[in-house]
């Protein structure tokens, strides 16, 4: 095949939004004997198989039982009682002998109520800000990042309690972040002419990578109640537009050989976990700045007869990354390069919300450079 076949490389991309079915919920309960001690229930969803067959660093039933979760509890007293804003102060709750437990045990007061806030995975350094918020930082590499869950519940206390069994505090955990993954394949068999090697995938705020894209830090309000009828959880996150970062997804060269299925070059199948953010808007004349996201791909073509070419291409991705949704970028490299994004509902704790908004198409790649 002549080298000229790459010089006019075209590229197409379709943004496809799909969803997977939700699974039933498992309950991991404290089945201890009936008493006045405060006990907990944690509800999790079974993890469905992702598009690339991996789970990365997603919080699941097993990881939650292994790592535990943290609880804050604010006691609002009734008559004759003293309120305590730190009734539970980042109390670690673990799973042992088929039940959730913690130490030292605390007991229900005789009246008033306790507002419970929970998060996972547990972090001994976490502290509440403004009574209900946690500070969260998105690490710069996928291997350092982690899923984040939140839940809340209110435990009302019957006045003049006289030995009646208290209900367990039930937590339904939700994903607080958006999850991003990628796969890649060749569009055809080019082995008789050349070897294609994926060198780099970058997510940035501009084609030259000088503008940062994703929020680095934010605060999450654990008291936020998720609306089951809406795809947007209002008031969950507070972020600063001045503190952002880009992500490099591929750091080790990967020879592309598969033409029949998508593969993930990352042997550890790590996902990116990002604070929800809207990249779907266009800037209007005289309007305020909008967040933009560009997918930048660098790959080489090494010809069997000698010679090598490096191509770097990019395309703006218009997508509103929502809380609790999993996004998969499927790259097809070859002639032409094809690119699409799937949004799936891989379950981890609360089922990932389904997405069927049918956002538009990415028509072509734009070239940054071709090097011989």
* H-helix or E-strand spanning residue 296: strand 294-303
Indicate whether 238 pLDDT > 80.
yes
d(CA 228, CA 195): 49
At 342, the pLDDT band (50, 70, 90 cuts) reads low
Contacts of 334 (CB under 8 A, 6+ apart): 186, 187, 188, 190, 196
pLDDT, mean over the chain: 75
CA–chain centroid gap for 171, Å, is: 20
pLDDT tens for each residue of 22-55: 222 233 333 333 347 887 776 654 332 222 333 3
pLDDT at site 265? 65
Q: Which stretch of DSSP H or E encloses residue 174?
A: strand 174-175
- pTM of the predicted protein model: 0.79
Rounded to the nearest 10°, the torsion over CA 23, 28, 34, 38 is -110
Cα angle at 267 between 326 and 251, to 5 degrees? 90
Task: List pLDDT tens digits, range 294-335.
Answer: 999 899 999 998 999 998 888 899 999 999 888 888 877 776
> What is the per-residue pLDDT across 108-154, written as a single tens digit (0 to 9) for each?
887 788 899 999 999 999 999 999 999 999 999 888 888 899 999 97
Question: Tokens in use for 271?
Answer: 């996902």
Angle (CA) 294 297 301, round 5°: 160
Instruction: Assess whether pLDDT exceeds 60 at residue 56.
Output: no
Which structural domains are found in the chain, ordered by start? 3-19+178-217+247-371 (2.60.40), 25-175 (2.60.40)
Dihedral angle sign, alpha carbons of residues 63, 65, 68, 69: positive
Does residue 345 register a pLDDT over 60?
Answer: no
Predicted pLDDT of residue 15: 27
* pLDDT bracket for residue 350 (50, 70, 90): low
Mean pLDDT computed over 271-283: 92
Average pLDDT over residues 59-63: 73
Tokens of 29: 């309960």
């Amino acid at each position: 095949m002549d080298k000229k076949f790459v010089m006019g490389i075209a590229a197409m991309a379709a943004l496809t939004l799909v969803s997977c079915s939700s699974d039933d919920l498992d309950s991991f309960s404290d089945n201890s004997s009936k008493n006045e001690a405060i006990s907990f229930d944690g509800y999790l969803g079974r993890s469905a198989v992702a598009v690339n067959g991996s789970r990365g660093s997603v919080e699941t039933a097993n990881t939650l039982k292994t790592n535990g979760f943290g609880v804050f509890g604010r006691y609002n007293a009734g008559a004759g009682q003293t309120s305590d804003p730190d009734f539970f102060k980042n109390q670690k709750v673990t799973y042992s002998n088929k039940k959730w437990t913690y130490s030292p045990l605390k007991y229900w007061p005789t009246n008033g109520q306790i507002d419970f806030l929970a998060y996972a995975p547990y972090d001994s350094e976490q502290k509440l800000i403004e009574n209900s918020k946690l500070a969260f930082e998105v690490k710069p590499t996928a291997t350092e990042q982690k899923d984040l869950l939140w839940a809340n519940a209110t435990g009302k206390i019957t006045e003049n309690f006289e030995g009646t069994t208290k209900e367990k505090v039930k937590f339904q955990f939700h994903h607080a972040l958006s999850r991003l993954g990628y796969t890649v394949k060749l569009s055809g068999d080019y082995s008789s002419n050349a070897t294609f090697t994926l060198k780099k995938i970058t997510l940035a705020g501009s084609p030259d990578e000088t503008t940062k894209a994703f929020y680095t830090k934010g605060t999450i309000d654990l008291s936020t109640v998720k609306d089951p009828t809406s795809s947007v959880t209002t008031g969950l996150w507070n972020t600063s537009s001045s503190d952002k970062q880009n992500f490099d997804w591929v750091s080790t060269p990967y020879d592309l050989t598969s033409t029949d299925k998508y593969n993930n070059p990352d042997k550890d199948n790590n996902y990116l976990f990002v604070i929800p953010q809207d990249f779907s808007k266009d800037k209007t004349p005289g309007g305020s700045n909008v967040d933009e996201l560009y997918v930048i791909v660098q790959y080489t073509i090494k010809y069997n007869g000698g010679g090598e070419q490096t191509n770097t291409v990019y395309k703006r991705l218009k997508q509103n990354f929502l809380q609790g949704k999993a996004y998969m970028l499927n790259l097809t490299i070859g002639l032409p390069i094809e690119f699409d994004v799937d949004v799936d509902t891989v379950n981890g704790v609360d089922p990932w919300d389904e997405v069927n908004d049918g956002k538009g198409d990415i028509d072509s790649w734009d070239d940054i450079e071709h090097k011989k």
